[in-house]
Amino acid sequence: MEILRAYKTKLTELLYVDPVPILQLAQSKKIITDREYNKIKCISDSEKQVIELLDKIMGKSSNVCQDFLKILKDVQDTYPQLVELFSEIEEIPSAPPSLSIEARPETQDEEHSVYQMRSRPRGYCVIINNKDFEKARLNFKTHKDRKGTDFDAEYLTKVFKWLHFEVVQCNDQTAEEIHSTMERYRKQDHSSRDCFVCCILSHGLKGAIEGTDGSSVSIREITSYFTGLKCPTLIKKPKVFFIQACQGTKTQKSVRVQADWEGHDTEAELEPEDADPNTIPNDSDFLLGMATLEDYLSFRNVFKGSFYIQALCKNLELLCPRNDDILSILTTVNREVSEENMMRAKQMPEPRYTLTKKLLFPTS
Q: Compute the distance between CA of residue 132 and CA of residue 311 in angstroms, rounded to an integer.
A: 24
Chain centroid offset of residue 57 CA: 19
Q: Compute the distance between CA of residue 274 and CA of residue 268 in angstroms, rounded to an integer.
A: 10
What's the chain look like in SS3? CHHHHHCHHHHHHHHCCCCHHHHHHHHHCCCCCHHHHHHHHCCCCHHHHHHHHHHHHHCCCHHHHHHHHHHHHHCCCCCCHHHHHHHHCCCCCCCCCCCCCCCCCCCHHHHHHECCCCCCCCEEEEEEECCCCHHHHHCCCCCCCCCCHHHHHHHHHHHHHHCCCEEEEEECCCHHHHHHHHHHHHCCCCCCCCEEEEEEECCEECCEEECCCCCEEEHHHHHHCCCCCCCHHHCCCCEEEEEECCCEEECCCCCCEEECCCCCCCHHHHCCCCCCCCCCCCCCCEEEEECCCCEECCEEECCCEEHHHHHHHHHHHHHHHHCCCHHHHHHHHHHHHHCCCCCCCCCCCEEEECCCCECCCCCC
Residues serving a catalytic function are 203, 246
Q: Compute the distance between CA of residue 136 and CA of residue 54 in angstroms, rounded to an integer.
A: 50
Q: In the Cβ-directed half-sphere of 84, how many Cα atoms lie within 13 Å?
A: 6
